[in-house]
């Protein structure tokens, strides 16, 4: 992937999905540094409700203190509606009338006034349509955005500054939704999705999808139906997706796809083309990071929508490099020098962490390291800014492992081994970043989705001290930040009657509103330019501005792991042969030759015409 876990090297791979979910959720909450067991999600919800509580309390104080002050039923009911929306709590006509603070008949008239004014949306709760839930309309949400901004400005004008822009209260005191170009809350569907058993989603067990699980109630309220989510490690996720494709009817409405699998899943009919499900233009494709959007295509057709665009970067400790008089390493030689200088095992500090576990994990490292030396794993034609992947579906390609660049990559990894932790050959996705967060490693290659391990943990030595770079490159090569992440697609064997609901849910899950909500609840991935430009997202982490800059400089690339049908096998082969090389069982030239021969056998020659 992509910030993934190898099923052979991750301790919770064969355990229950529940244990995996709890492990990740516990980690994210611990990373956040919140005290007294308050989770990231709970903290954000508390922040969201600050201004609502303030206005509600202010109304109460005015009404109780000034004898002739009358209750503003419209305001009280609007506040109740908004609180229900942000807490994912059902609001009924009865509860809304009860919150009004006025007699029943008066409250009923005020509620009808608000409906007539377009401030309240009704959603049927039953098939008979005799019972409704009430929700703030887009109009009311828009008015709330304006009001929250005015509350902030008035409070600051009369009582002085309310703190810096990073104050948590900024979220709800208008800093979130009142700023220019700020992305609004999740919309509420006026009619609930009618789909038997709710929306069923197959995902990867990573922090971003676990955030989505934690926010399930809010998404359920938005679309009006239940959402069930199954999470697997990377290898088991691929196996389950392929098994699902062999079933007469899909068990899932939406499946998460690691970007390198797109070609295989399109070729084998695992996914349906998006254009067969809905109007692709409605997604606003230009808003997605270019490399992430292109990576979801095969043969000129889109098969999935980016849900995470998470490049693998070099995380480095700014304080440690500065103390050693080192510049951030932009080249492989500079990286080796920095790792050598910072490697002090006698003090419990190691130079660098990376994916070196046998199989899938190390295989990804091999492909990306070859890219660092200017060569893709296939003989892709060179174009401005990288290599051309537009014609991969023609199947006119061959593997390029046993090359001069391949030898440089192999020798670089062997030298990197000298400045790595003693257990590096069993380290994979999470194992390389956790010790970095603990201050045991000075630098680490890692996907942005793992940044919460140190960005949200104030006790981490790396907290506030981490810099982000694209991969350091070899002589003559161009800087690349290889993108990973997951896209969401619709199984080709989905029952036709479920397709409209699946398409609408997919659109919501990948929307700017959803992406922003993920970030505010701890995610450090984002697939859209508009979300990266949102002021609250920018404040959440410097990683978004850094990645946005890499995207505009064309450093985000997916050609290091071209999504051809054979890529999973090529990755596995490289991860096995290079692991034997790193263990000293074979030399670099033998590892390259064996990997080349085995990978060549995977490629089916294109039929002659």
- Nearest-CA neighbor of 254 among 576, 545, 506? 506
Please give the distance of CA 99 from its chain centroid, rounded to a whole number: 38
For residues 437 and 534, membership in a common domain is answered with no
**3-state DSSP call for residue 244?**
helix
φ/ψ (deg, to 5) at 436: -65, -45
In the block, tokens 């954000």 appear at 44
For residues 302 and 220, membership in a common domain is answered with yes
As a whole number, the mean pLDDT across the chain is 84
pTM of the model: 0.73
Please give the distance of CA 61 from its chain centroid, rounded to a whole number: 43
Higher pLDDT, 167 or 498: 498
Q: How many domains does the chain have?
A: 3
Rounded Cα distance between 35 and 22, Å, is 18
Highest-pLDDT range among 76-80, 221-225, 459-463: 459-463
For residues 468 and 571, membership in a common domain is answered with yes
Residue 49's pLDDT is 58
In a domain, 256, yes or no: yes
**pLDDT (tens digit, 9 = 90+) per residue, 552-574?**
888 999 999 999 999 999 999 99
For residues 280 and 391, membership in a common domain is answered with no
For residues 319 and 439, membership in a common domain is answered with yes
The β-bridge partners of 442 are none
For residues 473 and 573, membership in a common domain is answered with yes
Domain at 392, CATH number: 3.40.190.10
Are 353 and 436 a contacting pair, CB within 8 Å? yes
**pLDDT (tens digit, 9 = 90+) per residue, 384-403?**
878 999 899 998 999 999 99
**pLDDT (tens digit, 9 = 90+) per residue, 176-219?**
333 445 788 888 887 888 899 999 999 998 777 888 888 888 89
Residue 309's pLDDT is 87
Domain at 84, CATH number: 1.10.10.10
For residues 341 and 411, membership in a common domain is answered with yes
pLDDT band per the 50, 70, 90 thresholds, residue 148: low
In a domain, 7, yes or no: no
Output the CA torsion 239→243→246→249 (10° steps): -130
In a domain, 244, yes or no: yes
Highest-pLDDT range among 34-38, 87-91, 167-171, 327-331: 327-331
**pLDDT (tens digit, 9 = 90+) per residue, 328-353?**
999 999 999 999 999 999 999 999 99
Indicate the pairing of strand 481-484 with strand 556-557: parallel
Rounded Cα distance between 579 and 585, Å, is 9
**pLDDT (tens digit, 9 = 90+) per residue, 23-34?**
444 444 444 444
**pLDDT (tens digit, 9 = 90+) per residue, 233-268?**
888 999 999 999 999 999 999 999 999 999 999 999
Residue 50's pLDDT is 64
Rounded Cα distance between 52 and 172, Å, is 8
For residues 137 and 263, membership in a common domain is answered with no
Indicate the pairing of strand 227-232 with strand 297-298: unpaired
For residues 69 and 122, membership in a common domain is answered with yes
Rounded Cα distance between 208 and 520, Å, is 11
- Mean pLDDT to the nearest integer, 263-281: 95
Residue 63's pLDDT is 66
Angle at 183 between CA 172 and CA 38, to 5 degrees: 40
In a domain, 184, yes or no: no
Higher pLDDT, 162 or 597: 597
Residue 348's pLDDT is 95
In a domain, 139, yes or no: yes
Residue span of the structural domain in which 196 resides: 17-41+192-309+484-552
Residue 344's pLDDT is 97
In the numeric block, which tokens belong to residue 180?
């220019």
Indicate the pairing of strand 310-317 with strand 481-484: antiparallel
Q: At what angle do helices 17-32 and 207-214 cross, to 10 degrees?
A: 90
- DSSP readout, 67-136? TTPPP-HHHHHHHHHHHHHHTT--B-HHHHHHTS-S-HHHHHHHHHHHHHTT-EEEEESSTTS--EEEEE
Please determine, for residue 230, whether its predicted confidence score (pLDDT) is greater than 80. yes
| pLDDT > 70 in the chain, percent | 81
Strands (E), 245-374: 254-258, 297-298, 301-302, 305-306, 310-317, 350-353
Count CA atoms within 13 Å of residue 332 on its CB side.
24
- Nearest-CA neighbor of 507 among 306, 310, 294? 306
For residues 255 and 352, membership in a common domain is answered with no
Residue 607's pLDDT is 57
Residue 392's pLDDT is 92
Which residues, other chains included, contact 542 with Cβ-Cβ below 8 Å and sequence gap of 6+?
468
In a domain, 609, yes or no: no
Residue 572's pLDDT is 96
Please determine, for residue 302, whether its predicted confidence score (pLDDT) is greater than 90. yes
Please determine, for residue 459, whether its predicted confidence score (pLDDT) is greater than 60. yes
Please determine, for residue 2, whether its predicted confidence score (pLDDT) is greater than 50. no
pLDDT band per the 50, 70, 90 thresholds, residue 140: confident
Please determine, for residue 411, whether its predicted confidence score (pLDDT) is greater than 50. yes
For residues 295 and 402, membership in a common domain is answered with no
Residue 608's pLDDT is 53
Rounded Cα distance between 129 and 127, Å, is 5
**pLDDT (tens digit, 9 = 90+) per residue, 466-484?**
999 999 999 999 999 999 8
Residue 186's pLDDT is 85
Please determine, for residue 416, whether its predicted confidence score (pLDDT) is greater than 90. yes
Residue 210's pLDDT is 82
In a domain, 209, yes or no: yes
Residue 366's pLDDT is 98
Please determine, for residue 369, whether its predicted confidence score (pLDDT) is greater than 60. yes
Residue 274's pLDDT is 96
For residues 162 and 288, membership in a common domain is answered with no
Higher pLDDT, 492 or 159: 492
Rounded Cα distance between 416 and 408, Å, is 12
In a domain, 95, yes or no: yes
Highest-pLDDT range among 6-10, 29-33, 280-284, 580-584: 580-584
Residue 39's pLDDT is 43
Please determine, for residue 312, whether its predicted confidence score (pLDDT) is greater than 90. yes
**3-state DSSP call for residue 15?**
coil
């Amino acid at each position: 992937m992509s910030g993934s876990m190898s099923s052979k090297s991750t301790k919770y791979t064969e355990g229950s999905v529940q244990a995996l979910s709890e492990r990740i959720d516990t980690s994210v909450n611990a990373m956040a540094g919140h005290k007294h067991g308050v989770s990231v999600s709970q903290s954000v919800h508390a922040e969201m409700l600050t201004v609502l509580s303030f206005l509600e309390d202010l109304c109460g104080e005015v009404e109780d203190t000034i004898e002739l002050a009358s209750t503003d039923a419209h305001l009280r009911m609007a506040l109740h509606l908004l609180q229900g929306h942000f807490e994912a709590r059902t609001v009924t006509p009865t509860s809304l009338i009860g919150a009004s603070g006025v007699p029943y008949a008066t409250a009923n008239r005020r509620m009808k006034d608000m409906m007539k004014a377009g401030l309240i949306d009704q959603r049927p709760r039953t098939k008979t349509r005799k019972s409704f839930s009430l929700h703030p309309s887009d109009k009311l949400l828009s008015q709330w955005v304006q009001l929250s901004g005015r509350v902030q400005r008035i409070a600051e004008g009369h009582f002085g500054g309310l703190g810096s822009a990073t104050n948590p209260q900024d979220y709800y005191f208008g800093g979130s939704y009142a700023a220019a170009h700020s992305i609004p809350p999740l919309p509420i569907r006026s009619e609930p999705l009618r789909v038997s058993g709710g929306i069923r989603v197959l995902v990867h067990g990573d922090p971003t999808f676990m955030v989505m699980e934690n926010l399930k109630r809010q998404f359920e309220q938005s679309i009006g139906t239940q959402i069930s989510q199954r999470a697997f490690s990377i290898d088991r996720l691929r196996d389950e997706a392929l098994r699902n494709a062999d079933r007469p009817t899909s068990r899932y409405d939406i499946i998460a796809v690691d970007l390198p699998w797109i070609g295989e899943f399109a070729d084998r009919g695992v996914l349906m083309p998006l254009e067969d499900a809905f109007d692709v233009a409605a997604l606003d494709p230009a808003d997605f990071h270019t490399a992430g959007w292109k990576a979801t295509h095969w043969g000129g057709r889109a098969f999935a929508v980016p849900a995470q665009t998470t490049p693998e970067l070099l995380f480095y400790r700014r304080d440690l490099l500065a103390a050693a008089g080192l510049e951030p390493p932009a080249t492989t030689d500079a990286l080796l020098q920095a790792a050598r200088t910072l490697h002090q095992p006698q003090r419990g500090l190691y130079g660098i962490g990376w994916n070196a576990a046998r199989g899938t994990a190390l295989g990804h490292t091999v492909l990306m390291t070859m890219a660092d030396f200017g060569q893709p794993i296939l003989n892709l034609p060179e174009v401005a800014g990288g290599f051309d992947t537009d014609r991969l579906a023609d199947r006119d390609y061959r593997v390029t492992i046993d090359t001069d660049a391949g030898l440089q990559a192999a020798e670089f990894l062997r030298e990197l081994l000298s400045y790595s932790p003693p257990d590096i050959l069993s380290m994979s996705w999470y194992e390389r970043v956790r010790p970095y967060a603990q201050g045991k490693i000075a630098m680490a290659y890692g996907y942005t989705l793992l940044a919460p391990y140190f960005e949200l943990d104030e006790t981490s030595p790396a907290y506030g001290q981490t810099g982000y770079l694209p991969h350091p490159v070899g002589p003559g090569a161009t800087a690349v930040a290889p993108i990973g992440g997951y896209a969401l697609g619709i199984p080709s064997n989905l029952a036709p009657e479920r397709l409209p609901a699946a398409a609408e849910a997919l659109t919501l899950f990948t929307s700017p509103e959803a992406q922003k909500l993920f970030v505010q609840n701890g995610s450090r991935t984002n697939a859209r330019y508009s979300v990266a430009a949102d002021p609250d997202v920018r404040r959440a982490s410097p990683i978004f501005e850094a990645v946005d800059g890499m995207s505009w400089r064309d450093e985000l690339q997916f050609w290091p792991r071209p999504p051809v049908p054979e890529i999973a096998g090529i990755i596995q082969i490289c991860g096995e042969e290079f692991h034997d090389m790193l263990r000293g069982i074979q030399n670099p030239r033998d590892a390259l030759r064996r990997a080349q021969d085995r990978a060549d056998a995977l490629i089916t020659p294109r039929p002659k015409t």
